[in-house]
Structure formats: C-alpha cells, structure tokens
Structure 1
Amino acid sequence: MNIFETLEISCKDGYSLSGRFYPKQNPSQNNYPVLICPATGITQHFYHAFAEWLATQGYDVLSFDFRGIGRSLHGPVSKSEASIVSWGQLDIPAAIDTLLCKTQAEQVILLGHSAGGQLLGIVPNYQKVAKVIAVSGSTGHVKGLKGKTKLLAPVMFNVIFPLARITKGYGPTQAIGMGENLPKDVAKQWAQFCSKPGYVMNAVGKTVFEDYHAEIDCPITVLWSSDDEIATSANVKDLLRLYPKAQTKMIELKPKSYEHKAIGHMLMFKKSHQNLWPVIEQQLAV
C-alpha cells in the first residue's frame, strides 16, 4: 500500500512534472504543508523516507522532480531544454500552487535541499511561502568551497561540462556520482552561477528579468553541516545576504554531536541519519 499519491504538476508553460503527495497521518495537527524542493540532479525518491516520516509528524508533504530530472524528464536528456532558471520561475511556482490546491492551505513551508532552497528570489508567487528551511543551502561559490570539492568543481565546471555539452549534449554527473545526468543548460547555469558570489543573481538582467530577492520577508533558516564542502559558512552567508528584508538564521550541525562520522552535503535526508530529522522538523514551526 502506497502512503503517497502520485501527482501530475502542470507548469505555466504546459510542462508536466512528476510529484508525490504524502497526506499527514495526524489530521488533528494544523501545520503548514511542506514542499520539498530537490537538490540539483536529485530525484524525489531520494526524499521518500523523510517525507514519509514527516507525514507521521502531522505535515502534508509534496515532493517532485524538477524538469529534465527523474520522472520529469520527457525524452532523451540531451534534448531537454530545462534550466535552473526554469526550475525557479516555473517548476517551484507550479509545485507551490499544486500543494495549496491539494490542501486548501494559504501558504506552504519550502523545505529546499541545496539548489532547491536557493531559488526563492526568482519565484513569482513567493508570497505563498510562509518560511524557507534550506538544508545544505548556499551559493556554492567556487572560492568558498573546501576539501576535494574545491579542487574538483573547477574541473567539472570548466572542462567536463563544456566538453560534454559538445560530445554528449548533457552534463554527465551520473558518472561521477552526483545524481542524475543534467540537461545541458542546467549544467551550464550551475557552472555560471557558482563562478561568482550570489548564485542565481548572476542571471539577473541576462536570463532573469524579474528579481524578488529584495522584497522577500519570510523567515529563512539554513541548516548545514560543518563537514559540508559546498555549503560552507562563507557560502551560506553569501546566500542569506541576498534577502535583506528576511529574518535569517544559520544552524551548523557537527557530525560528532549526533554520533555520525559525516553528514556532508547529502546525508541529512538518509535513513542512516534519521536522528537529524527532528532537528529539521523543529525548524518547520512558523
């Protein structure tokens, strides 16, 4: 028996996304519904165990695949016209409206993982978001990276992606253990956005002409780990500075404090790290 309902999310441009709706298991609890926005190249299935658990805590939950990824990829990835900008301008707004329609709530909590928590500033219906919890959320600026990622990212962005765009027609992230292969423009924008401070702000005036960062005043909390090589303290601060009106908060988790060897950029949603889930859930209260 599935504890989730498969949904089709229709975007403003007619593109169809695949989603999963997890109804809350405790109807007496009156919480805002939670929209899980995935990381770059990560599918909704990755968040299944966490979404299932969150539903038992009294939250309606919607997860989905961004266009060009997982079940929201229609046809060969080399033919996909998806971009990170389209994720923020079209996919997230449609997912917000779908969740509100499904639950009859007035606002959602946006629980974003990495890129999923970095795009609110270009989401046109941002007023429908009561609060943002950005897990491993940052700008990913290459100069703020650390460890092996600081060495590997420039190679991926400046060598692998440009060559693969010509030879394969997509970003071959699957081969290097970084989720699903990426549509060419997703890979290109990822490299561009991380090359300078400010992430998606680097597209303003080029591919983004409606920028809402300065208007957003909902609370924004970033949860990141001290061993995260991408969402470092510097890169988390770089993200939060983009929202001058918002009340922002940074919460650093240290693996040893929770009896883990590592948390990094990806492990907070894993069953092996479910003792971190109540820490995330605690931040959902508005």
Structure 2
Amino acid sequence: MSSSEKLTIHCQDGYSLSARFYPHQTELKQALPVLICPATGITKQFYNSYATWLSQQGYDVLVFDFRGIGESLNSPLKESTASIVQWGQLDIPAAIDALISKTQAPKIILLGHSAGGQLLGIVPNYDKVAKVVAVSGSTGHVKNLKGRTKLLAPVMFNVIFPIARHTIGYGPTNAIGMGENLPKDVAREWAEFCSKPGYVINALGKTVQHDFHQQVSCPITAVWSSDDEIATEANVKDLLRLYPNASTQMIELKPKETGHKAIGHMLMFKSSHQNLWPIIEQQLHA
C-alpha cells in the first residue's frame, strides 16, 4: 500500500498546485498535521523521505510544489507568471486550508525550508498556523552571506537573472546547481528581496498590500547550521526580528558535533542526515 496519495490544491485565483499527503502510520496520531513548504526551486519529491519518516512518527503531512515549480508548473516555464509573493499570498494559504480540510484539525504546524519558512507575514490565514519551524530559514540578505555563495549570489542576481529574463525568459538556476529553473518573476523577486534586510517586507506597498508580521503571535523556531552560507546567524536573526509579537528561538546545529562533514542549507532533509530529523521533530512536538 502506498504511504502517500496525490492531491490537487486549488488556490483562490484558480491556480492548481500538485501535492502529496502522507497519512500517519501509527495507531495514535499527533494532534496537529504538518505542512512542509519547500525552499525556492525545490520540488516536493526532495522532502519525500522526511515526510514519510514524519508519518511514521504519527503526523499527517502535506507537501506541495509552489506554482511554477515541479508538477505545479502549469505552462511553459518562460510563460509562467508565478512569483514569490503569490507563493505567500495564494499558495501557502490554499495548502493550509487543504490540510485542515483533509485532517479536520483546528490548526497546522508549518515546517518551512528556506523561503518556505520566510513568508508567514504575508499569509492571510496565518492564524491557522499553530507554530512555525523554519529550517535554514532566514532573509538571505546578500551582505550577510558566507563562502562561495557570497561570491555567486551577486553574479546570479545582478548579471545572470537580468540577462536571462530577456533572452530565455526564466532564471537558469539548474545550471548552477540551485534547484529547478525559476519563473522570471520568482528570480527577480528573489534578487530584490535579498538585496536588502527583511526579505519579503521589501515588497510592502508594492506587490504586497497586506502585512501580517505584527499580528503573527505563534511560536517560531529557526533551525540552522553553522556552515550554512545563506541562513547565517545574522540572516536568521534578521528574519525573526520581523515577528515582534511571536515567541522566537534559534537552534544552531554544528556539523562536527552531529557527526557530519557538512549540513549547509540543503542537507537536513536528506536521508544521509536522518540523525538530525528527531531534532526537527522535537520542535514540531514541543
């Protein structure tokens, strides 16, 4: 028997998202289901092993592809009008409602990876989120990046993306090992949001008219790694400061202390790092 089922999520604007639901595989289920919101350009399949493991811990889990990504790309990529703002204003709200409808739970736990944990402040139904666990969650402000990414990001944001927008019509991130190729407006917003502190607040008064950061009061925990070149300590703090009325905490993981050569921005959800999974689950359960 399959441990998951395919679902279609219908957004308020009529856009359809591809999702997978993982029902709990234990006699007793956890009180609240978990919504996994992916990182920029990362498909739901990336989280399959972790979602399956969570279901074995008693959670109902929903994972989906943001519009313009993976199986939620409903047109040729260069024709996609998807944006990060739409991910927060339309996709995440629809996924929250779909998970609540599926499980009849009063609220959900949002487990966001990178961008997936950075958008609650523009999610209209934020009050249906009981807590947020933001894995590698930060604002990604270029000034606070480290290592190779600090060198690569300005080239990607200021050279590759603008040229590609007018030549091929999308952000060619796959060629540089940064996930799926991105719809042009996702690439443009990513560059804009990371150019200044605060990430999505840079869209306020422009493409975002309703700001809920002040209203969010659920607990928010950021789990990050000391060798993460994007979610650095400064950028994690930059994200958490956006929620002044939420109880926030930071949990730093160090590769050597957890038996790994590296954790970085992407490896926490890999089977090779499954000894870290209970650390994340502990925050879901707390």
Counterpart CA distance in 1 for 2:30 and 2:225 is: 30
Equivalent residue for 2:250? 250
Shift of 1:285: 1.7
Report the equivalent of 2:33: 33
Aligned to 2:280: 280
CA distance in structure 2 between the aligned counterparts of 1:192 and 1:30, rounded to whole angstroms: 39
Aligned to 2:180: 180
SS of the residue 2:137 aligns to: coil
What are the superposed Cα offsets for residues 8-32 of structure 1, whole Å, 9 maximum, x if unpaired?
0000000000000000011413321
How far apart, in 1, do the equivalents of 2:137 and 2:203 lie?
18
Query: Secondary structure of 2:229's match?
Result: coil
With normalisation by structure 1, the TM-score equals: 0.99
Instruction: Give the aligned partner of residue 213 of structure 1.
Output: 213
Q: Which amino acid aligns with 1:261?
A: K
Q: Deviations over 1:198-248 (max 9, x none)?
A: 000000000000000011000000000000000000000000000000000
- State the 4+ residue runs in structure 1 displaced beyond 4 angstroms: none
Q: Which amino acid aligns with 2:163?
A: L
Q: TM-score, normalised by structure 2?
A: 0.99
Query: Which structure 2 segments of 5+ residues have no match?
Result: none
Q: Unaligned 5+ residue runs, structure 1? A: none
Question: Which residue in 2 is equivalent to 1:58?
Answer: 58
Aligned match of 1:235: 235
Distance 2:207 2:5 in 1: 35
Q: CA deviation at 1:2?
A: 2.0
1:1-286 counterparts in 2 under 5 A?
1-286=1-286
Letter in structure 1 aligned against 2:269: F
Q: Is the 8 A contact 2:117 2:134 kept in 1?
A: yes
Q: Deviations over 1:134-155 (max 9, x none)?
A: 0000000000101111111000
Q: Secondary structure at the match of 2:55?
A: helix
State the secondary structure of the residue aligned to 1:215. Answer: coil
1:53 is displaced (CA, Å) by 0.3
Quote the sequence identity (%): 75
The code of the aligned residue for 1:145 comes to L
Report the 3-state secondary structure (helix = DSSP H, G, I; strand = E; otherwise coil) of the residue aligned with 1:282: helix
Q: CA deviation at 1:196?
A: 0.1
Whether contact under 8 Å (2:29, 2:60) holds in the other structure is no
- Return the alpha-carbon distance in structure 2 between the equivalents of residues 148 and 28 of structure 1: 45
